[in-house]
Structure 1
Amino acid sequence: MSVSQSVVLRPAGPVQPLDRRVWGLSAVGVGGFALAGVYQLSGLGIPCILHATTGLNCPLCGSTRMAAALLRGDLGAAWHFNPVILVLGPLVGVALGYQVLAWTLESLRLVRLPRLSMSPRAADWVLKGVLVLLAVYGVARNLH
């Protein structure tokens, strides 16, 4: 990961747009916490199709209950429901949040913060690593 520029106060000129993947992942994260809030308040959630049909837990099973536990401040329960997403979620959330904040501040012409960037090769390796981690976790959580 690298930084593409330095801090500039009152920037002028065109604003570099955010990658659509940043917006998409951000929307998924916000939607996930909104779903967790609904689940926390009403007990209504979206069932996992894999779990409903096979009884097996997918790598994301428990994520809504994990986020609901976080909303009520119960870190132990959150860890129990899905420890991998509990660790990966905040890491991804901070990186995405920073990107959106940097874009917003630059769009408002307040300050241009350095943007995070990653080479396509590095992004490919990170994606593959996360997918392997989730696959291994998905298998391991069903072995008990």
Structure 2
Amino acid sequence: MRTALRKAASHPAAAPLSVLAAGAAGAVHLYGTNPHEAGQWLLRCPFNWLTGLDCPTCGATRMVYDLMHGDVVAAFHDNAALLVLGVPAGLFLGWRWVREGLRGRRYRPSPGRVLTAVALTLTALWGIGRNLVG
């Protein structure tokens, strides 16, 4: 029995499917928990808690809540850069991870130095810009 569990846990699809299941469980909780209202059972951004500033992903929870309720305009207002750049990239990479895992292959994207530098630069500019503009 332990050998079968160990073999299943080491299958390339185990990690992406586990992440997908955890994300679905989180989405079920978030669907009924409005992060726009105070007093909800949601974790606060540690960066915001320590500094009072918005990190590049601040607003992501509100954005996902708004998307699940069909309010794209409010989602854009919560975090425009993450909605326009991060969501499509995350969906693509997640889809590839699950697809390759189900085919029995491990998926390890390698963006390269240029793409990594561009992504980090855009993230830093977005994080600084959103705090300067308010």
Question: TM-score interval w.r.t. the shorter chain?
Answer: 0.5 to 0.7
What is the 5 A alignment of 1:1-144? 17=12, 23=16, 27=19, 31=23, 34-42=25-33, 43-87=40-84, 88-104=86-102, 106-107=103-104, 120=110, 122-144=111-133
Q: What CA distance in whole angstroms lies between the structure 1 residues aligned with 2:28 and 2:123?
A: 24
- Structure with the greater relative contact order (CA < 8 A, sep ≥ 6): 1 or 2? 1
8 Å CA contact 1:35–1:45 kept in 2: the answer is no
Moved more, 53-62 or 35-44: 35-44
For the aligned residue pairs, the C-alpha RMSD in angstroms reads 3.2
Q: Distance in 2 between matches of 1:103 and 1:66?
A: 28
Report the more deviating stretch, 62-71 or 128-137. Answer: 128-137
Report if aligned partners of 2:60, 2:82 keep a CA contact under 8 Å in 1. Answer: yes
Rounded to whole Å, the distance in 2 between the matches of 1:55 and 1:36 is: 26
Distance in structure 2 (CA, Å) of the matches to 1:68 and 1:125: 33
Segments of 5+ residues of structure 1 without an aligned counterpart are 1-16
Q: Provide, for residues 21-43 of structure 1, a one-character-per-residue CA deviation record: whole Å limited to 9, x for no partner.
A: xx4xx838x53x64454233133
CA shift in 2, pair 1:62/1:37, >3 Å: farther
**Secondary structure of 2:131's aligned partner:** coil
Q: TM-score, normalised by structure 2?
A: 0.66
Over 4 Å off, 4+ runs: 115-118
Please list the CA deviations of residues 53-84 of structure 1 after superposition, one character each: whole Å capped at 9, or x if unmatched. Answer: 32210001000110111111110111011111
Q: Percent identity?
A: 32
Structure 1 length normalisation: TM-score? Answer: 0.62
C-alpha distance in 1 between matches for 2:75 and 2:50: 24
5+ unaligned residues in a row in structure 2: which ranges? Answer: 1-11, 34-39
Richer in strand (by share)? 1
Aligned to 1:9: none
